[in-house]
Every structure is written in structure tokens, then in C-alpha cells.
Amino acid sequence: MYRILLREDLAPNIHRFKIDAPTIARKAEPGQFVIVRVDDKGERIPLTIADWDRDVGSITIVFNQVGKTTNKLAALKAGDSIENVAGPLGLPVAIENFGNVACVVGGYGAATILPIVRALKEAGNIVTSIIRAPSKETLFGEARLGEYSDKIMVVTGDTSNEYHGFVFEPLRELLKKEKFDLVITMAPTCVMRLVSLTTKPFKVKTIASLNPIMVDGTGMCGCCRVIIDGVTKFACVDGPVFDAQEVAWDMLMTRRCTYSGETSPELRYQCYKCAQW
Ligand SMILES: Cc1cc2nc3c(=O)[nH]c(=O)nc-3n(C[C@H](O)[C@H](O)[C@H](O)COP(=O)(O)OP(=O)(O)OC[C@H]3O[C@@H](n4cnc5c(N)ncnc54)[C@H](O)[C@@H]3O)c2cc1C
Ligand code: FES
């Protein structure tokens, strides 16, 4: 059993848990994830390791309450326990001094990209973080990202910020003004696809943390398969981070969103909107 040491609600339906998991904390690297099973009858869901404390032996997860398992998880409080937390899984992001790096985040990615941004900063990169939320009320993660970013741009769907609307226009303007060596994106699938389309004409290397449906997380079930440069890869063992220009986005989005409207009408609306772009 994995005890919840701390619970914090970051925004409506977005929760942050610090969990007692010393073995995972010892080995976690930026970009890796865990597979969580809330109780002995529960489904297995993948969640990014949003932080860790090797001395205390804890890891942090940040999750969006979207369906059955995340609702069950959200019902827990500090002191409760989770049945299984398996990890760290997936390949860590290769960190080096690339130079000028932009991190484009939305959804849970606003919090879960933190270890990558911190490692990039520690490796000597100049980091610009662009964070997007639908509104001022649903914005989270900007303070912690700001600690490790040279510059932070906040984009909201409402007019509460200098940048409003979607993330693509501010990103395009930034790429026109400055030369970037790398763009990293961790956001809903449709947003990452559009980030990759935005960066393509600028010929800047772009990597994306993919979130296909996963079951075992160890390369055995084939559920998380994605096509990268025409070759089938399993996101759980070959990723989850891949070159965004080589991802077969349409196939990924079709598989990822097949059942989204059945579990959450809100997600159906989002998927309808992506189809319009
Ligand atoms: C590598 C990886 C890291 C992730 N990290 C995070 C994170 O840090 N925080 C976060 O909030 N979410 C993260 N996700 C997405 C998260 O796994 C899903 O939101 C979660 O599984 C939904 O489960 P549910 O039972 O609550 O929802 P459901 O009712 O099952 O489904 C709601 C939505 O979640 C999707 N989904 C369902 N099961 C899975 C699954 N096993 N794998 C992927 N998507 C699924 C469905 O397509 C649907 O759109 C990550 C996914 C991957 C693949
Ligand atoms: S989740 Fe089963 S192969 Fe990746």
C-alpha cells in the first residue's frame, strides 16, 4: 500500500498528491510515469511523476479528474492509501544543454513538466515556459514553473492575461522573434499536434510527451502503440516522449479519443472542437 502524505487541490478537478513511495523516488527521472491502481478491483491508469523527494522517499502526482479511476483517486485524502503504484516506467527525457528551449504546456502538463524544466535549467539551458489554461480560475502550475524558467508566458482562454485565446499564436510570434533549439510540449493530444504544426515551418526540433491509452505499461499488451516515422512503437517502453514531427497524429487522436465522449460530455465537446481546427 502507498500512503498519501499530502493532498492539495490546485484548481477545479485538478489534484496534487504526495505519496510515500521510496523505491520509486530513488529511481525517478524527468519524463517518467507510474501506473496506479486505486484498489484491488481497480483499473490501472498511467500518471506522470510530477516530482520526487529522494530524502523523504516520496513522489508527487498531479491528476485531472476525468473519469472512473481519477474520480476514485480524487475521493482519497491525506492518510489514505493507494493499492499499487508501479514505476518508474517509460524512458526519461534525454537532458543536455540544447541552448534556447521553449516548453509549451496545458492541462495536467502545467504541473507534470516540472522535473523536465528543472533539469533543463540545471543543464544550463535558457528556458521559456508557455502555459495555457481555459480561464484564470483553472490556471495552476505557473508559480513553480516560473522558479525554473527564465521567462514565463501565461495564456488564458479568457482576457485575464496579456496573452489570450490559444497557445499557438503567442508561440508563433515567439518563434518569429527568437531562435529556439528545442520545443517540448506536454498537453492534451490535440494541442500537442497543433504545437508540432506551429513549429514545423521554423524547423525547430520539437518533442511531445504522448498519452495514448495504456494498460500494462510494460510493452506487453500493445494498447499504447503509436506510429513514429512510419514505425510502430509502444509509448510505455519506447516513450512516452517522441519527436513530434514524426508522430502519426491523426491515428493517435482517433484511438485516444474513441470513447472520450462516452465518459465525459465535456471531453466530447473538446474533441469536436479539435476536429474544427
Ligand atoms: C504516459 C501517460 C502519462 C499520463 N500522465 C497523466 C498525469 O500526470 N495526470 C493526468 O491527469 N493524466 C495523465 N494521463 C492520462 C490519464 O492516464 C487518464 O486521464 C486516466 O487514465 C483516465 O482514467 P479514468 O478512469 O479516470 O477515466 P476514463 O473514464 O477511463 O476515461 C476518461 C479519459 O481518459 C482516457 N483514458 C482512460 N484510460 C486511459 C489509460 N489507461 N491511459 C491513457 N488514457 C486513458 C480516455 O480515453 C478518456 O479520454 C497520462 C497518460 C499517459 C499515457
Ligand atoms: S501499455 Fe501495454 S504495451 Fe504499452
DSSP per position, 197-210 = HHHGGGT--EEEE-
Take atom 43 of ligand 1 and give the residue whose Cα is closest: 213
Residue 223 Cβ inside 6 Å of ligand 2? The answer reads: yes
The predicted pLDDT at position 166 comes to 84
Report the pLDDT value the prediction gives residue 273, as an integer from 0 to 100.
Answer: 55
For 168-203, give one letter per residue: b (16+ CB within 10 A) or e. Answer: bebbeebbeeeebebbbbbbbbbbbbbbbebbeeee
**Every domain range in the chain assigned CATH 2.40.30.10:** 2-89
Which of 59, 66, 258 to mutate to test ligand 1, by most ligand atoms within 8 A of the CB atom? 66
- 64 Cα nearest atom in ligand 1: 11
pLDDT at 267: 56
Domain 2-89, classified CATH 3.30.420.40, yes or no: no
The predicted model scores a pTM of: 0.93
Q: How far is Cα 10 from Cα 243, in angstroms, rounded to an integer?
A: 30
Backbone phi, psi, residue 35, to 5°: -110, 125
- Which residues, given as ranges, of the chain have pLDDT below 50? 276-277
Residue 220, judged by CB atoms within 10 A of its CB (0-12, 13-18, 19+), counts as exposed
Fold classification of 100-276 (topology level): Rossmann fold (3.40.50)
Domain with CATH 3.40.50.80 in the chain: 100-276
Number of the ligand closest to the Cα of 46? 1
- pLDDT of 277: 47
Sign of torsion over alpha carbons 44, 45, 49, 53: negative
Summary mean pLDDT of the chain: 92
Indicate the DSSP class of residue 42: P
pLDDT, residue 259, reads 66
